[in-house]
């Protein structure tokens, strides 16, 4: 069996394309009610589009927490990029997942 031209994926890349990650990502979005948590908490707005899941403690230092719910948070694309690029991956707001049900009224 030849491995010429084959590139071995790094662990971070493997997890991001795994079924376990895809399932976990959807679970976290559901737990966060399909809303960007930074937009909601920091700005008081509801953003439901372009959602991603962010590792609060990075994979590079806390690999063992990669699929733990309390290490994952739903963010919109813009907030995710801002946190990763401008804030070195750290959340810039206090956060804990709200477990109770809540509803929004759209006007």
Per-residue pLDDT of the chain (107 residues; tens, 9 = 90+): 445 555 555 666 677 788 999 999 999 999 999 999 999 999 999 999 999 999 999 988 999 999 999 999 999 999 999 999 999 999 999 999 877 666 666 66
89 conformational bin, left if phi > 0, alpha if psi -120 to 50, beta if neither: left
pLDDT of residue 2: 47
Rounded to whole angstroms, the Cα distance separating 29 from 75 reads 9
pLDDT of residue 106: 65
- Which of 85, 86, 81 is CA-nearest to residue 36? 81
């Amino acid at each position: 069996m030849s491995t010429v031209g084959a590139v071995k994926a790094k662990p971070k890349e493997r997890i991001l394309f795994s079924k376990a990650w895809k399932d976990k990502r959807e679970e976290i979005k559901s737990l966060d009610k399909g809303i960007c948590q930074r937009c909601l908490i920091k700005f008081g707005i509801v953003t439901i589009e372009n959602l991603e899941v962010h590792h609060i403690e990075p994979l590079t230092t806390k690999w063992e927490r990669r699929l733990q719910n309390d290490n994952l948070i739903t963010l919109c694309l813009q907030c995710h990029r801002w946190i990763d690029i401008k804030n070195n991956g750290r959340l810039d707001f206090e956060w804990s997942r709200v477990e109770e049900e809540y509803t929004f009224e759209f006007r």
